Amino acid sequence: MSWGLRPDLFVQSVTCIDLDDLRAKGIAGLAFDLDNTLVPWNTAHLTQDVVDWFAGMHAAGVRGCIVSNAGGRRVLSVADRLGVPVLTWAGKPRTTAFLAAARLLDLDPSRVAMVGDQVFTDMYGARRAGMFTILVPPISGRDFATTRLLRLLERFLLNRWKRLGLMTWWPEGGRSPCSR
């Protein structure tokens, strides 16, 4: 079961994503989860390093969008600040959400990478849609109630992948700087 859920790449934060490496893999677009991937859960607080990284993404000609199960002004304001389109109330992990993101980016799903903090929504749905998957640790410990339950099972998988040598890092107490 865990093999089909395992992300293609683990990075310490969105700002650690190497766009040149992704382009070498044929990736031309990035779909991002919002809560606990770009901003702490249920906030619109973007750090300057994330804003700067998105500016670099745009300058490199890589397309981006946000795919969120949330909606409202908060989600739209983050997307506006980052200069990307957004799919709200997406219904992840249904594959239709990820296929819609690929259409929004005008790319085949195989040329899109999904970046998110949750194995059972972001990684599972994107993988089923044929996307490359990138898992980041959650920005904060706050989550939606059902997400907190899924995190228990997720922790089991992460520990398993770590024991099997399928992931080389996972910060125990928060974010760590990018390592390459």
Q: How much is the mean pLDDT over the chain? A: 86
* Choice between 55 and 140, residue whose per-residue pLDDT is larger: 55
Q: How far is CA 113 from CA 4, 50, 85, 162, in A?
A: 16, 17, 15, 22
Quick one: pLDDT band at residue 173, thresholds 50, 70, 90? very low
126 alpha-carbon distance from chain centroid: 10
**Cα gap 129→116, rounded to integer Å:** 15
Q: For the whole model, what pTM was predicted? A: 0.85
The whole-number pLDDT of residue 180 equals 46
Report the pLDDT averaged over residues 158-172. 67
Task: Give domain 2-163's CATH architecture.
Answer: 3-Layer(aba) Sandwich (3.40)
Coil, strand, or helix at residue 9? strand
For the chain, domain boundaries: 2-163
The whole-number pLDDT of residue 160 equals 76
Number of H helices, E strands in the chain: 7, 6
Rg over alpha carbons for the chain, rounded to the nearest Å, is 15
